[in-house]
Structure 1
Amino acid sequence: MDKNAKLPENETGAVLFNVEPIILKYHYEIDYLHSYAQDSPFFAGLAHGKLLGSRCTGCGHVYATPRGHCMECGAATAWAELPTEGRVHTYTTCYYGGEAFLEETPFTLILVEFERVDTLFLSRLVGVEPDEVTIGMPVRAKFRRNSTFRPTDVYFVPL
């Protein structure tokens, strides 16, 4: 047994900013692997300029926000392409947002109503001042040219 054994020292570590409570600042980095699993077709659709929802294989209920099973009858659903034009069902203007939306604040969130689709789709409305948005306003989906595989890859503009 070596009583003089010790770990090698290096120049890394943390900088002490405060004593009570101790606050440490140090760099942290991680590669994060994420899978969209059964929702992958939705995000692949956005990358190809398509909105995909789901249609119940039992009762035919169509969901703008895809799901694996029908909320009405419980049957499995299948992927279905949604229209890219709809109308504003309701809206809200957000004056505060998360980090991803700080540069866009204020921004308008809308629930889009599509023909022959039983539920609504949440997205942003771009190109309209908040006081110009109206219920029933016709809108069209637009897609980011370079997909980030996030729900924000699709947004709506006035028709």
Structure 2
Amino acid sequence: MAKKVRLPETDEGTILYKTDPIIMKWHYEIDYIHSYAQDSPFFDGLSKGKLLGSACKKCKRKYATPRAHCMECGAKTDWIALPLEGKVHTHTTCYFGGEAFLKETPFTLILVEFRGIDTLFLSRLVGVEPDQARIGMPVQAQFLRNSKFKATDVYFVPKE
């Protein structure tokens, strides 16, 4: 006869909101160590109110979203400062978003076009209603006062 074995249990329960289908509250949290590695200068720049992109040493292509190697010729790139002003290349209104954006929903995502830069930069447009965003609208970068070292540390507002 097998010995009866039981796992230890606590008296904690589960908050149940609905039974068909079951909907319950479940807290989940984890800490982990993360490195931006070669992209670290970009995030450090955000914490200092700077936007950094990259430029190819060989073909001179300039990227708003930094990369270590050129997408055209494969050569190594150097860090460059991006302008803090640009214009809306295109936009979309997001009615659903991740947890970080729930309080802002609906929000506007834009692709920013910078003079002299060959690619676009994805960010949020803040300070205008979603139906007021326009292609060609001049915008300027704003940065969170307390950097989180995330891409969302920068956002754009209409240029005054």
TM-score range, shorter chain: 0.7 to 0.9
Identity of aligned residues (%): 68
Residues 10, 80 of structure 1: alpha-carbon distance in 2 compared, 3 angstrom cutoff: same
How high is the TM-score relative to the length of structure 2? 0.84
How high is the TM-score relative to the length of structure 1? 0.85
- After TM superposition, the runs of 4+ consecutive aligned structure 1 residues lying more than 3 A away are 6-15, 23-30
Distance in 2, matches of 1:58 and 1:12, equals: 65
Residues 82, 27 of structure 1: alpha-carbon distance in 2 compared, 3 angstrom cutoff: closer
Letter in 2 for 1:66: P
> 1:29 Cα shift?
4.4
> 1:30 Cα shift?
3.3
* Cα contact 1:126–1:157 (8 A) shared by 2: yes
Residue 127 of structure 1 corresponds to which residue in structure 2?
A: 127
Q: RMSD of the TM alignment (CA)?
A: 2.9
Report the secondary structure of 1:75's partner residue: coil
> 1:8 Cα shift?
10
Residue 20 of structure 1 corresponds to which residue in structure 2?
A: none
Distance in 2, matches of 1:68 and 1:48, equals: 21
Distance in 1, matches of 2:110 and 2:90, equals: 6
* Cα contact 1:113–1:120 (8 A) shared by 2: yes
Distance in 1, matches of 2:114 and 2:86, equals: 5
> 1:151 Cα shift?
0.5
Report the secondary structure of 2:112's partner residue: strand
The answer as to 2:112 corresponding to 1:82 is no
Distance in 1, matches of 2:156 and 2:7, equals: 58
Residues 29, 87 of structure 1: alpha-carbon distance in 2 compared, 3 angstrom cutoff: closer
Residue 147 of structure 1 corresponds to which residue in structure 2?
A: 147
Residue 111 of structure 1 corresponds to which residue in structure 2?
A: 111
> 1:133 Cα shift?
1.1
Unaligned runs of 5+ in 1: 18-22
Q: Deviations over 1:66-110 (max 9, x none)?
A: 001001111000100000000000000111111111100010000
After superposition, where does 1:6-25 map in structure 2 within 5 Å?
Answer: 11=10
Unaligned runs of 5+ in 2: 17-22
Distance in 1, matches of 2:25 and 2:104, equals: 30
Residue 49 of structure 2 corresponds to which residue in structure 1?
A: 49
